[in-house]
Structure 1
Amino acid sequence: MIGENIAFANPEFFWLLLLLPAAILWYIFKREKFSPTLKMPGLSGFGKSSLLSKLQALPFALRLLALAAVITGMARPQTLDVSTRTKTTRGIDIVMAIDVSTSMLARDLKPNRLAALKGVATEFIGKRPNDRIGLVVYAGESYTKTPITTDKAIVLRALKEISYGQLNDGTAIGMGLATSVNRLKDSKAISKVIILLTDGVNNTGFIEPKTAADLALEYGIKTYTIGLGTNGNAPSPVGYNADGSFRFGMRQVEIDEALLQEIAQVTGGQYFRATDNDQLEAIYDEINKLEKTEIEEIKYSRYEEKYRSWIFLAGGLLLLELLLKFTLMRSFI
């Protein structure tokens, strides 16, 4: 009758259970007054006492159990069912603009810049269950890999498919940013964010990065920019081997940090520089903290009273006591 989800609305009534030991002591001390006394020199003339004579305290025990049941009922046992509903009150639409130029194969991040980015971006997406996320890739040109969607499985699958060679080589930062703005400009979300990552300088494309930044500002889209690459030289593709694979050599890392800082400043975002895997991961963690989705959790509690069963049990025990008293055990009481 008492389960794991049982709570008591008035547990103070359990103090009344202290009456039970007192009643037992009273019964023991007063028992002789209720039992007839017969003195005789011996018991040889009597057979063994009957079972009923040994159970003459049973009605009193039933009365005590009934009292305990009443006290439990007065404490008002209840089952508590708590249900929770989560309501997202401030959704965020995010587009991740990813540079897939040849330089993203540089090995200053392990195993290379693009692979390191994909690993960190996968973790970032997993931490945004309540937001819509889209992917834009760019090199010498740009295109939408995945429109903004709540289906994280689609986004993660598309992210896994991103590789070098899908676009003409180059770094069209303005094109990548403009395509991302185009994905978000009609969004009804309260907060719209672009995370733009590059490891180079804008050297192609027919849209200037500053023009694209002005468009982002006009549509209220905040842009976080990330410059990816170590300081100094990095092992980068410099040509092809006879078998068609890349030949690597040391090349100077060139990132237009001034441009990336300006884009972030104009749109209300921030600029970050990642020179290794740990820094890249820390940057995405920081962006995850800066762009929080507000979630409202509503709890519903439903109580179901269980005292009636205890009262019925007490009544049944009292009826059983009366039945025994006036039938089977009538001669002993």
Structure 2
Amino acid sequence: MLEFVWPWFLIVLPIPLLARWLPSAKPSSDALWWAQSQHLIQHQDKSTSYGQSLLGKSFLWLAWILLVIAISRPTWVGEPTQVTPSGRDLLIALDLSGSMKITDMTLNQQTADRLQAAKAVLTDFIDKRRGDRIGIIVFGTKAFLQAPLSFDTKTINQLVQETQIGFAGQRTAIGDAIGLGIKRLEGKAADQKVLILMTDGANTAGRVQPSQAAAFAASQDVRIHTIGIGADSMMVRGFFGPKEVNPSSDLDEALLKDIASQTGGQYFRAKSTEDLQRIYQQLDEMEPTPSEDVWQRPVTSFFHWFALLAILNFGLSLVANNGYYLSKRGRT
């Protein structure tokens, strides 16, 4: 449906007609006498008589109409669409330390490292969080904001796929990641502050101790869900043949449980890609913050199109009048 932001401006459309109907001022012949005045008057009358063509006037009128319509700001308002936002702001802190390259996961029936499995599951999880604002924090030796809170899940997923092991350093700064998450969630409603922390190790770097960060998160009503990722056992080749090892021996489960407990969240253990998928399904089922449905109507402005057409028609009027003037002059 076409609407005008300033429809009242359309009342100026007939101004050129009104101006044409006004009586023209006639110069007094007694005011000034000049010997060449009669010649000038005749020349003026002649130039006026063939100075504008019908085509030029048409273009000029069309330019005026288009200009008035453009200033009235025409917009096309589309059909209303229903959006149901949950009101939840969800940050995901992803570990990119060196240990995430351990290949103790499977993906599409093939061996994969922990980061590959995490990215595959995260992509599906983020796609389902319609109506939520999602943000990504990556951490290693330091913590960085990879993607600010946004409804644009497509871009968020692209940024997740671009993450690589070692981008933030080889060690693990869990406390700094929590601190950055608290800062990015500052000023949000209490039931909106959710942080999902996924790591495969212990805190080995950073300026903030995880226990202190968790206590501060609890005081700021930030709920933290923690995920410990990594298999319990895997076969590796040794000097005397294959042997079984525990690739998650560095995982500090006690710390992750304490962080979740202090902040009212839950701790999850992902020993395989399937476990990780089930965990994110559980997280996906968290009840969103109740809110009223919002109806939105897409609006497209046509101001620039009408303005460009007005300028084009004004230029065409000048060209038409100039051509008409030259043709008439050539005949005289």
Give the TM-score normalised by structure 2: 0.57
Contact 2:192 2:289 survives alignment (8 Å):
no
**Equivalent-residue separation in structure 2 for 1:159 and 1:252 (angstroms):** 24
Counterpart amino acid of residue 258 in structure 1: A
Which residue in 2 is equivalent to 1:184? 185
Which residue in 2 is equivalent to 1:289? 285
Unaligned runs of 5+ in 2: 1-78, 107-111, 238-243, 296-332
Contact 1:131 1:293 survives alignment (8 Å):
no
Q: 1:293 to 1:84 in 2, by over 3 A?
A: farther
Which residue in 2 is equivalent to 1:211? 212
Contact 1:135 1:155 survives alignment (8 Å):
yes
Which residue in 2 is equivalent to 1:264? 260
Contact 2:198 2:229 survives alignment (8 Å):
yes
Secondary structure at the counterpart of residue 279 of structure 2: helix
C-alpha offsets along residues 314-333 of structure 1, whole Å, 9 cap, x if unaligned?
xxxxxxxxxxxxxxxxxxxx
C-alpha offsets along residues 95-141 of structure 1, whole Å, 9 cap, x if unaligned?
00000011111111121100100010000100111000100000111
Counterpart amino acid of residue 165 in structure 2: Y
Deviation at 1:290, TM superposition (A): 2.0
The 5-angstrom pairing of residues 95-244 of structure 1 reads: 95-110=91-106, 111-188=112-189, 190-233=191-234
Deviation at 1:186, TM superposition (A): 2.5
Secondary structure at the counterpart of residue 176 of structure 1: helix
Which residue in 1 is equivalent to 2:274? 278
Contact 2:227 2:270 survives alignment (8 Å):
yes
Contact 2:140 2:168 survives alignment (8 Å):
yes
C-alpha offsets along residues 31-68 of structure 1, whole Å, 9 cap, x if unaligned?
xxxxxxxxxxxxxxxxxxxxxxxxxxxxxxxxxxxxxx
Which residue in 2 is equivalent to 1:303? none
C-alpha offsets along residues 222-275 of structure 1, whole Å, 9 cap, x if unaligned?
110000011145769xxxxxxxxxxxx956412111110111011111000000
**Equivalent-residue separation in structure 2 for 1:235 and 1:189 (angstroms):** 47
Deviation at 1:220, TM superposition (A): 1.2
Counterpart amino acid of residue 261 in structure 2: Q
Which residue in 2 is equivalent to 1:91? 87
Q: 1:235 to 1:170 in 2, by over 3 A?
A: farther
Contact 1:130 1:150 survives alignment (8 Å):
yes
Counterpart amino acid of residue 108 in structure 1: D
Counterpart amino acid of residue 253 in structure 2: E
Counterpart amino acid of residue 95 in structure 1: L
Secondary structure at the counterpart of residue 180 of structure 1: helix
Q: 1:198 to 1:90 in 2, by over 3 A?
A: same
Q: 1:260 to 1:281 in 2, by over 3 A?
A: same
Deviation at 1:298, TM superposition (A): 8.8
**Equivalent-residue separation in structure 2 for 1:156 and 1:298 (angstroms):** 25
Deviation at 1:87, TM superposition (A): 5.0
Deviation at 1:293, TM superposition (A): 5.0
Secondary structure at the counterpart of residue 272 of structure 1: strand
Which residue in 2 is equivalent to 1:309? none
Secondary structure at the counterpart of residue 146 of structure 1: strand
**Equivalent-residue separation in structure 1 for 2:122 and 2:88 (angstroms):** 16
Give the TM-score normalised by structure 1: 0.57
Secondary structure at the counterpart of residue 208 of structure 2: coil
Aligned-residue Cα RMSD (Å) equals: 2.5
**Equivalent-residue separation in structure 2 for 1:260 and 1:89 (angstroms):** 30
Counterpart amino acid of residue 127 in structure 1: K
Q: Which has the larger radius of gyration?
A: 1
Secondary structure at the counterpart of residue 84 of structure 2: strand
**Equivalent-residue separation in structure 1 for 2:294 and 2:256 (angstroms):** 41
**Equivalent-residue separation in structure 2 for 1:172 and 1:270 (angstroms):** 20
Which protein has the bigger strand share?
1
Counterpart amino acid of residue 261 in structure 1: K
Deviation at 1:86, TM superposition (A): 3.3
Contact 1:108 1:234 survives alignment (8 Å):
no
Q: 1:165 to 1:90 in 2, by over 3 A?
A: closer
Deviation at 1:85, TM superposition (A): 5.5
**Equivalent-residue separation in structure 2 for 1:173 and 1:269 (angstroms):** 16
Identity of aligned residues (%): 36
**Equivalent-residue separation in structure 2 for 1:296 and 1:116 (angstroms):** 36
Contact 1:235 1:250 survives alignment (8 Å):
yes
Deviation at 1:188, TM superposition (A): 4.5
Unaligned runs of 5+ in 1: 1-82, 237-248, 300-333
Deviation at 1:165, TM superposition (A): 2.2
**Equivalent-residue separation in structure 1 for 2:118 and 2:144 (angstroms):** 18
**Equivalent-residue separation in structure 1 for 2:235 and 2:177 (angstroms):** 24
**Equivalent-residue separation in structure 2 for 1:87 and 1:190 (angstroms):** 20
